[in-house]
Structure 1
Amino acid sequence: MASRPYRIGVVGASSLLGKELGDELGESLLAASTVVLLEDDEEVAGQVTSAGEEAAFIQKIEPAAFEGMDFVFFAGDADSTKRHWQQARRAGASIVDLTYALEEEKDALVMAPWVSDAQSSAKREPDLKTPAVIAAHPVALMLALVEERLEAGIGVKGLAATVMEPASEHGRAAMDEMHQQTVSLLSFQNVPKELYDAQVSFNILPILGENAKVKLARTGQRIRTQYAQLTSGSAPLALQMLQAPVFHGYAVSLLVDLAKPVTVAEVESALQGEHVDLVSDDGEPPSNLSAAGQEDIMIRIVDDFGDAERGTRFWLWMAADNLKLAALNAIACAVELRRLRPSGKVQ
């Protein structure tokens, strides 16, 4: 049997997340693959874009679009995922859902391969009967990775997180509305509120308007559920969502209550490792701006016990590029799924 590269489809290739995913695929372990960019929207189909450093055409999803594909990433909107994922599944592709449309699908599996080692005894592995994997929400990944490392090195009694959501998490339309609100406010005009049903520019809100299409409560529940799945619920999580007036990047204020008194240096030692960038007191604190384009989760640690040398409560200020983190996690999921198919062999 002749060897061949994988064939990968990206549905929703013109979305912010789809574009990020296409770029990251070109730098990943799947870089030798043939990447096909797909869209439902006929107006977008035919446009020239890029996948990594290669120019590529966005193709319209046709009945035979998924034939011969090994992996299909769904990175557009939930409705498109629901319309086409079964078609891709029947064609024999492994499905990676970045839209959360398949959360309620029986036997679908939430995955965050970076969070795996300490939870290996409870970790559910995908198999040939797994209909799809859902790439974990970036914040669920951030929190679970911190909990995993602190639990393994010290022990964790509980976590309390305040999560600041950026507009880009909900695509170009949300970014455009926040931008238009800013322009309108500066020119003393009425602000558009189609998506948020509230003024989010120059504002921080725990609840959006009654008719908002962006649902903070739903996102918060998704993070709680996925965090529990990734960590087996070993350390309880309290969580509050806030809509932040920023376009890009998650910021999280996290209070951790540890099982025994330790120093800041011991917490830093427990958190060190791949995918984490520890920022010292001497450096610029993590922010949504400094995290933009960065692959790692940026973390700064401050104790919450005054003049004592050791204590159990610590504040972690974290920031991450939400689109890049989501794309990298989705690719890590696909890399894990490679073991379920004959590596590079024509079937």
Structure 2
Amino acid sequence: MEFRIAVAGASGHIGHEVLNVLCEHEVPFSDVTALASSASKGMEVSYGEDDLLKVHGLEAFDFKGTDVVFFATDAKTAAKYAPKATAAGCTVIDLSGQFHMEPGVPLVVPEVNGDSLADYQKKHIVANPRAVSILLALCLKPLHEAAVIKRVVVATYQAASAQGKAGMDELFRQTRGVYVNESPADSKEVYPKQVAFNVIPQIDNFQDDGSTREEWALAAEIRKIVSPDIAVQATCCTVPVFIGYGMAVTIETENPLSDKQARDLLRQAPGLSVVDHRVEEGYVTPAEVPGEDPVFVSRIRRDPTVENGLAFWCAGDNLRKGAALNAVQIALTLRDEYID
């Protein structure tokens, strides 16, 4: 079956990556429409290396006759237009975060909980998790199935592209400014502190318990995607990297699991690539992952401070598997298994 699809937010980084993935993976859609705000109407966006798509205005778009709409927009825009799309008979794949925790909306990483797509017809909306949750869930799933994870402690190191073009521009301006003796504070608009040559232990607003919303959301999404019984303690940081996330993860399991067993399980799991050599350069860093589909797992080792503890490092492209590729995989699963 060939779908007619639309990508809302096509002029942004994630929308552009959705179009790239659709083209690179030769997804057999019969028609692709690029949508964006009226400010971008009429411009052209790339679809693969050779083709260009003209951008249509989202505000006036008639969703009737479109099968799947990717919302790679901000949450406010998705809240306004996604209901119009579903009312016209479309299925919405939301990358904005607007519907992540809404009851009746499946939150899906296809390799982890693809069976939850069976519930998509309740609202005809499927939520794409935030990038950090996708990358972590892929790593946790095979270990949880083998040994039952009780607790996760994770520190995340998230790229400036998490804040879109504005975040990347601020990192660039501040980095350049340091070399010409400008104060980074003079260009501080997106981040609460200097991001160039720094690590910021705050993503989103603080909650009453001292955690940030990103940390709360990561814990909530892991419980929704992998298991409601997993306790998650997260510290989420922004680092001066343009694209690519890294995570230092420690897990505690109910049943024993050796580092060798964990390594074998992770090697066999879909969506993962294990690069774990205990030598210099025997691991993968965020600088190496842009454009790569898998999540890379390295430095798998026993945690001797708890009875059944393991530690590992993982890295992945937050714009690709952390957003666009996961959303396209959702669309393909819907097409193949659920939509007539």
Q: Which position in structure 2 is the counterpart of 1:155? A: 148
Q: Which position in structure 2 is the counterpart of 1:56? A: 53
Higher helix share: 2
Q: Which position in structure 2 is the counterpart of 1:345? A: none
* 1:290-321 deviations in Å (ceiling 9; x for gaps): 11111000001332457xxxx73222110000
**Cα 1:62/1:302, change in 2 over 3 Å:** closer
Q: Secondary structure at the match of 1:162?
A: strand
Output the amino acid matched with 2:193: A
Determine the C-alpha separation between the residues in 1 that align with 2:118 and 2:221: 15
* 1:63-120 deviations in Å (ceiling 9; x for gaps): 3432210000000222221221122112111001101122354522211111037xx6
Q: Which position in structure 2 is the counterpart of 1:97? A: 94
**Cα 1:178/1:340, change in 2 over 3 Å:** same
Determine the C-alpha separation between the residues in 2 that align with 1:81 and 1:206: 28
Deviation at 1:158, TM superposition (A): 1.8
- Which of 272, 280, 292 does residue 276 from structure 2 map onto? 280
Q: Secondary structure at the match of 1:116?
A: helix
Output the amino acid matched with 2:300: V
- Which of 285, 293, 296 does residue 295 from structure 1 map onto? 293
Output the amino acid matched with 1:188: N
**Cα 1:238/1:210, change in 2 over 3 Å:** closer
Contact persistence 2:284–2:298 (CA under 8 A)? yes
Q: Which position in structure 2 is the counterpart of 1:332? A: 329
Q: Which position in structure 1 is the counterpart of 2:220? A: 225
What RMSD in Å do the two structures reach over aligned CA positions?
2.5
Determine the C-alpha separation between the residues in 1 that align with 2:316 and 2:166: 21
Q: Which position in structure 1 is the counterpart of 2:3? A: 6
Deviation at 1:125, TM superposition (A): 2.8
Contact persistence 1:256–1:314 (CA under 8 A)? yes
Deviation at 1:208, TM superposition (A): 6.6
Unpaired runs of 5+ residues, structure 2, are none
Number of equivalenced pairs: 327
Output the amino acid matched with 1:269: D
Deviation at 1:177, TM superposition (A): 0.9
Q: Secondary structure at the match of 2:296?
A: strand
Output the amino acid matched with 1:198: K
Determine the C-alpha separation between the residues in 2 that align with 1:104 and 1:197: 26
Deviation at 1:15, TM superposition (A): 0.7
* 1:193-222 deviations in Å (ceiling 9; x for gaps): 1111311111012137989xxxx9222222
Unpaired runs of 5+ residues, structure 1, are 343-347
Output the amino acid matched with 2:164: G
Structure 2 residue 176 is the aligned partner of structure 1 residue 183? yes
Determine the C-alpha separation between the residues in 2 that align with 1:336 and 1:5: 13
Report 1:99-178 matches (<5 A): 99-103=96-100, 105-116=102-113, 123=116, 125-178=118-171
Structure 2 residue 309 is the aligned partner of structure 1 residue 316? no
Determine the C-alpha separation between the residues in 2 that align with 1:202 and 1:41: 37
The share of aligned pairs that are identical, in percent, is 26
Determine the C-alpha separation between the residues in 2 that align with 1:227 and 1:104: 11
Output the amino acid matched with 2:235: Q
Q: Secondary structure at the match of 1:254?
A: strand
Normalized against structure 2, the TM-score is what?
A: 0.88
Normalized against structure 1, the TM-score is what?
A: 0.86
Output the amino acid matched with 2:171: M
Determine the C-alpha separation between the residues in 1 that align with 2:110 and 2:301: 29
* 1:148-190 deviations in Å (ceiling 9; x for gaps): 2012223323211101111101110110011111122222223
Structure 2 residue 26 is the aligned partner of structure 1 residue 26? no
Q: Secondary structure at the match of 2:16?
A: helix
Q: Which position in structure 2 is the counterpart of 1:243? A: 238
Q: Which position in structure 2 is the counterpart of 1:47? A: 43
Output the amino acid matched with 2:319: L
**Cα 1:48/1:188, change in 2 over 3 Å:** same
**Cα 1:209/1:193, change in 2 over 3 Å:** farther
* 1:254-312 deviations in Å (ceiling 9; x for gaps): 01223344432211112122211101215541111111111000001332457xxxx73
